[in-house]
Structure 1
């Protein structure tokens, strides 16, 4: 649980950071709002912070229909995808599950049969986790992360040209209701305030 919490904090910091000095920082609330009503989203934003048509939105019903090995691909042209990041896909693990059992999601650079690269992801269904998918590269090299409600910054999978232009990309899985994540953020803030108050009290007691 502690490990999952730390991972969430790290991801939150990554989300708030822009990949380029030209990029407009996209807030967590904007990312979650854009994905509201969907199970998983692969969002691409322009340098102005607006979501682009090349983003991918998938409902839980679509995931159950297509199966856990189905790959959802962005319409980004192959030249706008970072081919050097092929093999560096991110594997998200649900709490209590191991990589051997399977992933809730795999997101990264996918290599088509024709040799072209696509920004893509695969997602689990209600009954089945995602296993090895050849197009994402070797399963052993997946960057494993704990699945949380926070967006995962996947801007590194965009081409260097897009990154330099200020474009950004995020993957979101299991989107909570806006009221739910606001309560969670408020909770984190309250914990921080309590910690600060205790530290101040200890200093005064010395």
Structure 2
């Protein structure tokens, strides 16, 4: 099948043209952390603030991709890896349009996040560790997932019976226990090389 595909990339509008028109560079902010750490909430707040500044930004998170693009995937290790791979490929396409993509995914292992970085490219990958203590995440537990995991109703839940490997050298370490949502979003935005 692939032999029938003829690339037209050289005829398309190029990334540098799009970034010049947008007035900023594209890239991927990869927000990682435990469930309940505030990843999606901070991502949404940052997207709104970026939009208000005229920055072309888009949030991708577990909820919006699992209802469509990845609706056929479950939560086995293999499916989690494939979910993350697909998201990375979609984010890479957005970057080519000059978009700043904010991805909000637990992505629990360093190996998984390294694979994402390899797909996107190190120069466009900004790993943000949403660093929230487990006890705070459990207290928030808006979806009731920790309670189910503690009761044994939910297996392989990250932070309970499945490990989370914190980034060793993230682009940004957001300690959310000490920050409001607005403060965290502002810190994130100000750290980006737009």
Higher relative contact order (CA 8 A, sep 6+): 2
TM-score (norm 1): 0.30
**Which of the pair has more CA radius of gyration?**
1
Name the structure where helix makes up a greater proportion of residues.
2
TM-score (norm 2): 0.31
Name the structure where strand makes up a greater proportion of residues.
1
